Structure 1
């Protein structure tokens, strides 16, 4: 047989080898497809059985006005922890969180029963063990699940991950620490949260601060930027100060304009003053306006639209007349309009002046701002 095969031309022998190789790949792919389909079907059946057995009971317990302790819930749920399998804890986690969200939306969530359900099903122990023993991806997933449970976590379990060299795992652990720990929740904000501070980090930290603000008053966020040299982190914290209306920070923000040279930071300081409505800074900003970069000047104009005082409106009128740049005039006109009735009266006067001119398009610009009544709030 070998002599016959070797007697064929090289091209035929190569073709036979390639065909055999492709057949093996096809068979392997088909078998793998069957195996994956089997696993998906098995998981769907397990999920369906778990839902049928537990969902109604969990819904009843979490929406009940009666408080149940852990032992009572284990009997009520008919769940034997000693005989459970790993896949069941995984599926039960999805179901518990799903039921919790549904009951919470209906406004009838019994928080104590929800926490006792997690304890009765031993779900925290399951995921804490995975945090301690799993690889990077599964450990990160476990951290996210524990965060969704929202019932605290042992800081000792987190310690290994909060300084891990893997960026995603480290940031996930630090975010969980900030959102869950009660001893020193803002520990990592003192270190600018992380060496690299991305857009995803901003979303995570913003959500955490919202959660913390509902539990208790946030500390003055300025404390975490005084020694920071990271521009994007400083700007983020400044925005949060405006978002959470930390009015006590306003005088210090004005002082920051004498410290920071970065134009993006200076612009955000001024925008935050506008969010806080700190009209006491009007004279200071007016004095700085001629000396600042375009980005900072734009921020001053925007802030003046939120101060609502006559001094701010007078400045905006002056700024409108003192510039020939159409883009700047548009920003100024929108800030003037934000002053309500007085602002609209001022805009009307400016429009009448513009209609008397023939050398520019100011009348079109001002008519555009008037037309933005339903777009830009007063």
Structure 2
């Protein structure tokens, strides 16, 4: 008769054996991935089986962990699919997607993303409408990363402000689409989304990925009621170097709130056209906000050779706290009293 205690002891022995086998798995996978030696799928399976004793759910979990670690360390190789195929890792992840355990499902979403396995559209889509908020979020984010079939379909279902962590995750998934050559223009979603938080994020991504042909949409967003949207549109004009908007930005400076004014200064600094030095000098003198003054001073100092001269001229006319700001901008590591 097999007792609970017997099963537990067997399980503990198995876990100890697998834990002790990790260095051998790392060594085997490193040889396959990062050397010139050729392996067949059968050889990989046999060598792995010899290390772990039995190819099962537990040993495959460790194999996936090792591959994920390699990927996270940016250890590139064209032979990852060879190991994935030899060990049946796609089928292993499919079983995890079908697990009753939410933790296993979430692990499968994240592991499929890191291993760049875009074979799970139907599985992921099934959970995209789950009643469990965590599962639903992971599924929708994974669909964005892994699907080649309308990956942005859930953008219009974001009904809350994005957290910083949401933004980091979404950016990772968009990067993966970019690497695959599947990153579509984001302008459509900037135009149609009613979620200002998502719109701000997508405008930022337009600048990050240097997407072209979106000038008109950005100009429309300069008239948006939300100052955060206007500010991000202004910054992205700078990122995309749409310098013909420079005078329009100067004209609207005095009617904008501070967040947009700072964005205008940063964008003018990006343009570095040489046309706005007098404007920068004027707004430095007029500003009453210390942080804004510092940003304007940095823009002047970095505004070509003429900016450096203007900075020194400005320094020679000031005293007290304003002079301290300029000195700090010039040599930020030195503390001035």
TM range (shorter): 0.7 to 0.9
Deviation at 1:282, TM superposition (A): 0.8
Aligned partner of 1:279 in structure 2 is: 243
| Correspondence 1:336-355 to 2 at 5 A | 336-355=300-319
Please give the per-residue CA displacement for 1:178-203, whole angstroms capped at 9, x wherever unaligned: 211222223223444x6563322211
Unaligned runs of 5+ in 2: 1-6
Secondary structure of the structure 1 residue equivalent to 2:294: helix
Deviation at 1:126, TM superposition (A): 1.7
Deviation at 1:348, TM superposition (A): 1.1
Aligned partner of 2:148 in structure 1 is: 182
Structure 1 residue 306 corresponds to structure 2 residue 276 = no
- Cα 1:214–1:267 change in 2 (3 A) is same
Aligned partner of 1:7 in structure 2 is: none
CA distance in 2, matches of 1:227, 1:283: 28
- Cα 1:37–1:287 change in 2 (3 A) is farther
CA distance in 2, matches of 1:286, 1:279: 12
Aligned partner of 2:4 in structure 1 is: none
- Cα 1:214–1:142 change in 2 (3 A) is closer
Aligned partner of 1:6 in structure 2 is: none
- Cα 1:300–1:204 change in 2 (3 A) is same
CA distance in 1, matches of 2:330, 2:70: 49
TM-score, length-normalised on structure 1? 0.76
Among candidates 334, 355, 359, match of residue 298 of structure 2: 334
Among candidates 119, 131, 136, match of residue 170 of structure 1: 136
CA distance in 2, matches of 1:79, 1:51: 14
Among candidates 316, 320, 323, match of residue 284 of structure 2: 320
CA distance in 2, matches of 1:347, 1:36: 74
- Cα 1:373–1:185 change in 2 (3 A) is same
Aligned partner of 1:231 in structure 2 is: 196
Aligned partner of 2:15 in structure 1 is: 43
Deviation at 1:171, TM superposition (A): 1.5
Aligned partner of 1:291 in structure 2 is: 255
Among candidates 121, 129, 136, match of residue 95 of structure 2: 129
- Cα 1:329–1:91 change in 2 (3 A) is closer
- Cα 1:75–1:86 change in 2 (3 A) is closer
- Cα 1:251–1:309 change in 2 (3 A) is farther
Larger Rg computed on CA atoms = 1
TM-score, length-normalised on structure 2? 0.85
Secondary structure of the structure 1 residue equivalent to 2:98: helix
Among candidates 167, 190, 208, match of residue 173 of structure 2: 208
CA distance in 1, matches of 2:71, 2:189: 35
Deviation at 1:247, TM superposition (A): 4.0
Q: Residues 161 and 198 of structure 2 are in contact (CA less than 8 Å); yes or no, is this contact kept in structure 1?
A: no
Unaligned runs of 5+ in 1: 1-34
- Cα 1:136–1:127 change in 2 (3 A) is same
Deviation at 1:273, TM superposition (A): 1.5
Deviation at 1:262, TM superposition (A): 0.8
Secondary structure of the structure 2 residue equivalent to 1:152: coil
CA distance in 2, matches of 1:198, 1:38: 44
Aligned residues: 328
Structure 1 residue 243 corresponds to structure 2 residue 214 = no
Question: Which 4+ residue blocks in structure 1 deviate beyond 6 angstroms?
Answer: 35-41
